[in-house]
Amino acid sequence: MLLTFCFSVAALAAPDLTSISASATQGRERLSLDRGWLFHLGDIVSPEVKGHGASYGYGKAGFAWGPAGTTYDDGDWRALSLPHDWAVEGPFDAQENLAQGYRPRGVGWYRRYLRIEAHERGRQFELQFDAIATHATVWVNGILVHRNWSGYNGSNINITPYLRYGDEMNTIAVRADAVPMEGWWYEGAGIYRHAWLVKRAPLHIVTDGLHATPRLSPQGQWSIPVAVTLKNGGKAATSAVVEVALRDPSGALVATRRSKVQVPVLAQEVVRLPLQIAKPALWSLQQPQLYQVSARVIQNGTAVDETSLHTGLREIRFDPEHGAFLNGQHVKLQGVSIHQDHAGVGVAVPDAIWAYRLRRLKELGANAIRFTHGAPAAEILDMADRMGFLVMDENRNFNISPDYMQQLEWLVRRDRHHPSVVLWSLFNEEPMQSTEAGYQMARTMAAAVKALDDTRPVTAAMNGGFFAPFNVGQALDVVGANYQVDAYDKFHLQFPKVPFTSSEDTSAFMTRGVYTTDQSTNVFASYDDDYASWGNSHRDAWEAIARRPFVAGGFVWTGFDYRGEPTPNQWPAVNSVFGIMDLNGFAKNAYYIHQVQWIKDQPLVHIAPHWNWAGREGQAIRVMVMSNAEKVALRLNGQPLGEQQVDPYRMNYFKVPYAAGKLEALAYRGGKLVAQTAVETTGAPVRIELVPDRAELRGDGRDAMPITVRALDAQGRAVPLADAEIRFSVQGAGQSLGHGNGDPTSHEDEKGPTRKLFHGLAQLIVQSLDNSAGELVVEASAAGLAPARLVLPVRAVTPLPSQPASAAPFNTVNYWRISPFSTTRPDPNQVLADFDMNTWEYGDPPMLRAAEAEKSGYRIYRASFTPRKKLADGSGVLHFLRVAGRAEVWLDGQLIGRKDDDAAAPLRVTLPAGAGARQLNVLIEGRQGQASGIEGVVRVEPALP
C-alpha cells in the first residue's frame, strides 16, 4: 500500500523560509518548563487495538493512543510545577519495599502544552529533562521521541521535526515508570529535576558542545584546549566564524580566538581553539576562583548562538605513597557520601535547599563529596565549584551496553569542565568486580571516559576482590575501597605504586537526641558505639585513614540520613540512621566528632548529651566532649569535675553524677582557654520559636528556605526533649513545600498541616510564589504553647526566563482524511471502508486546495474526535479558525452548521451534547479558480461568553 500525505498543491515544494529568516537567526534561549504541567498518578492502559483501521493507525507516527496522544482528555488531571516527586506524597505502607522507604511508587503520567509562534519556524528546539525517576518515555504530538532507562541522567531531545506552529498547540506527554529500581535506597518518582526548552538558530552549538577543560603542561604552562561542536539543522551547508573568549575571576578578558568553519547539512563539526593563560589564578578549596569560557557563532556579522561555562585551573594528583595533592599541596579528602533526598520534599529538592545542605557540609569541615550512586543535578556541581569542594562523580550502572555507555558518556561530557570534579567513579560495589568479565567491562568504561576527559583519574568503589587474578582495580587509576580497613596495609604492601582511597567508610548508627540504644524501638545512642558489622565507628574509620599517608582520604557513609535502607531496622523504621546529620540537616554527635577532627584553624569544643535527666539525680551520666584543643575540663554549676588531654581520634568521656544546672566544657591550648560550651537543664516548654535560615526569599517561585522549629522554656532556652505537635499555616507570597523532624520511625504526612517535634526540633520548608513580592507569613501553634509568627520579606526579582504555560481547555481535531475531488455533490456522510488507506488522502490543516482543472467541485474533509468531558454537554463549539469556500458541517450524520460564502473566514458551530467519539464530516464546495479547504486549525472549545 502507498500511504499518501500530499495534502496541498504545494506539498512537495520546500516551504518558503523568507518570512522566518529573522527568527531562524535569533540567539539561544534556555527557557524553564517547570510550570504548567498536568499530572495523573497511576498508569492509564489504552483499550486493546482491534480492527484494520485502528491497527493500521496504531503503527503510524503521530497516532499514539491514550494519554500519549494529542487528543486525550486531561481536564481532570492535577496541575503542578516541577520538580515533582509523587512518592514522598504517598502514605507509608508496611507492604512496600523497605529499601525504598516503604513508599509506593508505581507509574505516573505528565502532560504539558506548548505554543510555538509561527515566526519561530526555522529555529531548532530541544526539550531537556534533567532527570526522571525511573524509566521514562516521552511523546511529542503523539510521536514517541525518546526513552530513557535511568533516573539519574538527563535527556536532551531534538523536537524540531515534530512541532506545530501558530494556533495549533503542541502536546508533550511523559510516562514515568518508577516500578523499576536502580538502587537500594529511596529514589523517588517522577520528573524530580528541572525541565527546559532550548531554542537555537539552525547553526548552533550542541548541548554540552563547549569543551573547556584546563590542562597543565609538563613545562608548567596552563592552557584551555577549547573545542566547540556545531550542528547545522538548516537546509543548506553553511559557514560561520566561531569566536571563543576567556575571562578571569575578576571578569577581565584575558584571551580570545576565532576560526572559520563550514558545516554540511544536518552534520556536526568540531572547531578547536586552544587558549593560553600566562598568569593563572588557581582554583582551590580556600579560594575557588572560576574562569568563564564563552563561545559565539557569528554569521554575516551577527551572533546567532552563544553559550558559556565556568571552569577552574587546578592540578589534582593522587600519589601512591602520600595521597592526594591539589595544586601541589597535600590535601586529605575529608569527604562524605550523600544521597539526594531531603525532609519534606523527597528527591524534588529545590536548588536553594541543596545550597543549604552544602553549606552545612562546609560548616562541618568536609572538603569532599561523593554523590552516590548516580549523577547529581548540574546545579549542585555549580555550587561545589563556587564553594570549594572536591567531588567524586559517580556513574550509576555498571554496564557497557549502548544505552548505559551513553549514560556514562553523557555524565563526562556534562561535568568535565567542573574544577570540583576530581574523580570519575565507574560504579559502587559490583559483584562482578573480581571477575574477568568485570575487568573487561571496567576497562572498556575507563577507556570511554579517557576518550572524553583524560585530565582526571578513574576510580570505582570496590568492596572486595582487590587481590583476585582478574579484578576491576587493574583498570583503574585510583583504587577505591568500601569498608576494607583491614586490607589497607595489605593492599599498599602488595601494590605500592597504585594510588588508593577509601571510597566509602563508617556505616555507624546514630539517632539524633538519643543516648540509649534500644533496637526494640529502632533507636541508637549518639555516643558512636553502634555500627554495621561491615563498618566502623566514626572515630575508628577516620583514625584508620588519618594515620595512613598513602590513603588519600575517605567518604563517610553518610553525610545526611536518607529515606529507605533503614539498616539494621525494619518497619516501622523508614529511613537510615547512618547520617552525620539527620534528614533535615540537623547535627548529630557525629557532626561534632568530624568537625573537631577536620577543622584545625579555629578552636572548637562540643559537649553531649543534653542536661535534662529528671529522675536520675545522683546517677552517673556518660558525658562526651569533642574538641580540637589540647586539653578539656568540665564544670558543673561552677564546680570543677576534672580535665583530660584531648584524644583527637577517640574523643573524651567523663562520668558525671547528674544534678540539675549548667554543665560546662572548657578547651585549652598552651594553658589558655580558647573555647567553651555548655548544656543546661531547661524548664518546661512554654512557646514555639521559628528560626529562618536566611533573612529573605527571592520572589522567583523557585527560592526555598528551611525554617527550624523548636520549643523554648520561660528563659528562652531550647528544650531538647520537647515533642509537641506543631500546626503550620503559611500565607502571603509563599507556600509550604513540606516538613520533617529527623525521626527515622515517623509516619507523619510530610505535606500535611502538622509535624511533631523530635527531640526538640522540626523543620518547615517554604518557597516563594511565582513573580511574587511582599511578605511570606508563617504561623505555628501547639496545644499548651504560645504560638509563633514569622514574617519573611519576599523580594521582587527578574523572573527566570520561562516558556509560558499554555492551557488547553479544548480539543484540536487532527488526523483528517480528504476525499477525492468531485464535480458533483457527494454524500457528505458516505462511509469509507475501514481497510481503505489509499482512496482518501491524509492531512491536517492547512488543507487548502486550488480549484482543479479550472472546475468547480467538492471535497469531503473527515475526522473523528472525542470532546473533553467539560465540553460534551452542549456547552462547546466547533471552531474552524479559517475555512475557504462554502461548507456544510455534519456531525454523526446530522447537519449542524454551514458557511454560505466563498471567502475565507472563521466558522463557529455549536457542538450538540454527546459523549464518546464523534464523527465529523465537512463538505466544502470550491468555485472555479478559487482556493478552498480547511485553512486553519479546528478546535472543540468553550463557547464565547
Active-site positions read: 429, 504
Measure the N-to-C terminal CA separation of the chain; round to a whole number of Å. Answer: 48
Please give the Cα distance from 249 to 862 (Å, whole number): 63
DSSP string covering 661-706: SEEEEEEEETTEEEEEEEEE------EEEEEESSS-EESSS--EEE
Please give the Cα distance from 425 to 398 (Å, whole number): 10
Give residue 288's identity as a one-letter amino acid code: P
Please give the Cα distance from 519 to 773 (Å, whole number): 49
C-alpha of 168 from chain center: 30
Beta bridge partners of 461: 428, 480
| 32 neighbors 114 (Cβ within 8 angstroms) | no
Please give the Cα distance from 593 to 432 (Å, whole number): 36
Q: Quick one: cell of 771?
A: 513573580
Q: For cell 549542585, name the residue.
A: 380
| 30 neighbors 198 (Cβ within 8 angstroms) | yes
Count of alpha carbons within 13 Å of 438, Cβ hemisphere only?
A: 24
Please give the Cα distance from 483 to 504 (Å, whole number): 6
- Beta carbons within 10 angstroms of residue 917's beta carbon: 11
Beta bridge partners of 605: 627
Please give the Cα distance from 719 to 681 (Å, whole number): 9
C-alpha of 149 from chain center: 15
Q: Quick one: cell of 277?
A: 593563560
Secondary element (H or E) of residue 555: strand 553-557
Please give the Cα distance from 269 to 448 (Å, whole number): 20
Q: For cell 564553594, name the residue.
A: 387
CA angle 793, 388, 557 (to 5 degrees): 95
For residue 594, is the peptide bond before it cis, meaning its omega torsion is within 30 degrees of 0? no
Closest listed residue to residue 587, CA positions, set 566, 573, 606, 602: 606
DSSP β-ladder status, 222-232 and 203-211? antiparallel
Give residue 61's identity as a one-letter amino acid code: A
| 781 neighbors 709 (Cβ within 8 angstroms) | no
Please give the Cα distance from 388 to 150 (Å, whole number): 29
Please give the Cα distance from 545 to 334 (Å, whole number): 10
Please give the Cα distance from 286 to 38 (Å, whole number): 45
Q: For cell 565549584, name the residue.
A: 385
DSSP string covering 241-276: EEEEEEE-TTS-EEEEEEEEEEE-TT-EEEEEEEEE
C-alpha of 53 from chain center: 41
Instruction: Spell out the SS3 assignment of 60-91.
Output: CCCCCCHHHCCCCCCCCCEEECCCCCCHHHCC
Beta bridge partners of 941: 877
Please give the Cα distance from 498 to 462 (Å, whole number): 14
Q: For cell 540567539, name the residue.
A: 27
How long is the chain?
Answer: 945
| 923 neighbors 860 (Cβ within 8 angstroms) | yes
| 850 neighbors 885 (Cβ within 8 angstroms) | no
Beta bridge partners of 920: 863, 891
